Amino acid sequence: MLDLLLPQRCVVCGSGGRQLCSGCREELPRIEPPLCARCGAPTAWLVERCRECAGRRLGFATARAAVGYDERVRRLVHAWKERGLRRLAVEVAALVVERVPPPEVDAVTFVPSDPARRLKRGHNPAERLARELAAAWKLPCLPLLERTRGGRQRGSSATERRSVRGAFRATATAPRTVVVIDDVYTTGATAAATATALRASGARRVEAITFARALRRS
């Protein structure tokens, strides 16, 4: 009945029928190997460290993402996060499961929202994605992190790193191995900050998985 009163449209192309039509789903830019073994950036050949992560102190062991962040993905993420289309989390999780191997970890956790943003949105997209993935991977999903302060991630990569450095802390002892989930990997600053907090609370290995990843231009 709701679909009759409020017909669904694809958030990418605007066609009627579904929130993400099959054509747009197939055309989303999947991240393909070879990848940097550490941060998951596409590379010309397999490398242990790439120019994006070489020389940086990153708390996570590996980072992986399903799709590259282009205009189509931006529209999808915006609709999911800012327009309240929460069911898109199911589509997003299915794409991650399709493209990213299941992590060999003890538990799943997620990047906590800034309280003001959560109040405005009414949900935490990273948490919903984490819970969908945990169910698919048959792993527990644990709320292990909280923000110690807000942080707006915009501007240069250096600005982003400063904005999230020390912005998270663990609320419980972390499992030995854990994967932290977020929606978009931009510079890796948030993944690094959350991984550092988890390692300080007992994790020996932290992996990071996101739906999308910003890609450097050649």
Name residues whose C-beta falls within 8 Å of residue 5's C-beta, 6 or more positions apart in sequence. none
Is residue 218 assigned to a domain?
A: no
Domain count, the chain: 1
pLDDT at residue 162, rounded to an integer: 57
| Within-domain flag for 66 | yes
**Residue ranges in the chain whose pLDDT is less than 70:** 1-6, 150-163, 218
Task: Encode 163-183: b = buried (16+ Cβ within 10 Å), e = exposed.
Answer: bbeebbbbeeebbebbbbbbb
Q: List the domain range (segments joined by +) for residue 61.
A: 7-213
Residue 37 lies in a domain: yes
Q: Which residue has the tokens 């919903």?
A: 128
Indicate which CATH number applies to the domain containing 34: 3.40.50
User: How many angstroms separate the CA atoms of 29 and 25, rounded?
Assistant: 9
Is residue 1 a part of any domain in this protein?
Answer: no
Please classify residue 7 by burial: count the beta carbons closer than 10 Å to its beta carbon, then call 0-12 exposed, 13-18 middle and 19+ buried: exposed
Whether residue 88 lies inside any domain: the answer is yes
First-residue to last-residue Cα distance in the chain: 48
User: Is residue 2 a part of any domain in this protein?
Assistant: no
The per-residue pLDDT for range 74-85, each reduced to its tens digit, is 999 999 999 989
Q: What's the pLDDT score for residue 114?
A: 85
- Average pLDDT of the chain to the nearest whole number: 91
Going by the DSSP 8-state scheme, the letter that residue 54 receives in this structure is T
With respect to residue 61, please indicate whether it lies within any of the assigned structural domains.
yes
Q: Rounded to whole angstroms, how far apart are CA atoms 33 and 26?
A: 18
39 domain-assigned: yes
| Six-digit token string for 37 | 């073994």
